[in-house]
Chain A
Amino acid sequence: MSDSHDHDVNLVPPTRRVVLGFQDAEDMDVPDLPTEPVPLNMGPSHPAMHGTVRMVLEVEGEKISSADIQIGYLHRCFEKESESATWTQIFPYTDRLNYISPMLNNIGYAMAVEKLLGIADTLPERAQYIRVIVGETSRITDHLTCLGASAMELGAFTVFLYALKAREWIFELLEEICGARLTVSYMRIGGVAADMPEEWGKKLLDVFARVRDVMVDISKLLDRNRIFRDRMDGIGIITKEDAISWGITGPVGRSTGLAYDVRKDHPYLVYDRFDFDVPVGSVGDNFDRYAVRVEEILQSMRIIEQALAQIPAGRFLHPDPRVSLPPKSETYNSIEAMIAHFKLIMDGIHVPPGEIYSFTEAGNGELGFYIVADGTGRPWKCRVRPPCFPATAVLGKVLPGLFIADVVPTFGMINMIGGECDR
Chain B
Amino acid sequence: MGFEFHTTSLRSAVNWARKWSLFQYPFVTACCGMEFMSVAASKYDIARFGAEFPRFSPRQADLLFIVGTITERQGPALRRIYDQMCEPKWVVAFGVCASTGGFYQNYATMPGADQVVPVDVYIPGCPPRPEQVLDALMLLQDRIQKGEGHSQITIDAERGYDVPIAAIRPKQLGPGAAAKKEG
Contacts and interface: CB of A to CB of B under 8 A. Distances in A.
B117 interface: no
Contact of B56 (A47, A51, A96, A164): A47
A31 interface: no
Contacts of A160: 41
Interface string B45-56: 000000000101
Contacts, number: 97
A343 interface: no
Contacts of B27: 45
B177 interface: no
Interface string A144-172: 01001100000000001100110110010
B134 interface: no
A81 interface: yes
B127 A182 contact: yes
Contacts of A92: 103
Given A52-B28, A183-B31, A419-B30, A161 B73 contact: no
A201 B37 CA distance: 27
Contacts of A183: 31, 126-127
B34 A145 contact: yes
A74 B56 contact: no
B71 A73 contact: yes
A181 B31 CA distance: 11
A80 B31 contact: no
Contacts of A52: 28-30, 74
A399 to B, nearest CB: 21
A165 B71 contact: no
Interface residues of A, number: 35
A95 B73 CA distance: 22
Interface in B57-74: 68-69, 71, 73-74
A327 B181 CA distance: 64
27 contacts: A45-B78, A47-B56, A51-B30, A72-B73, A74-B29, A74-B71, A75-B108, A76-B30, A76-B69, A76-B71, A76-B106, A77-B109, A81-B104, A95-B31, A96-B30, A145-B34, A161-B41, A161-B42, A164-B41, A165-B42, A171-B38, A182-B35, A183-B31, A183-B126, A183-B127, A418-B30, A419-B31
Closest 7 CB pairs of A and B: A99-B31, A164-B41, A77-B106, A47-B56, A52-B29, A75-B108, A168-B43
Given A74-B68, A75-B73, 16 more contacts: A45-B77, A51-B68, A52-B30, A73-B29, A74-B74, A75-B108, A76-B104, A76-B106, A77-B109, A81-B103, A145-B37, A160-B41, A168-B43, A182-B127, A419-B30, A419-B31
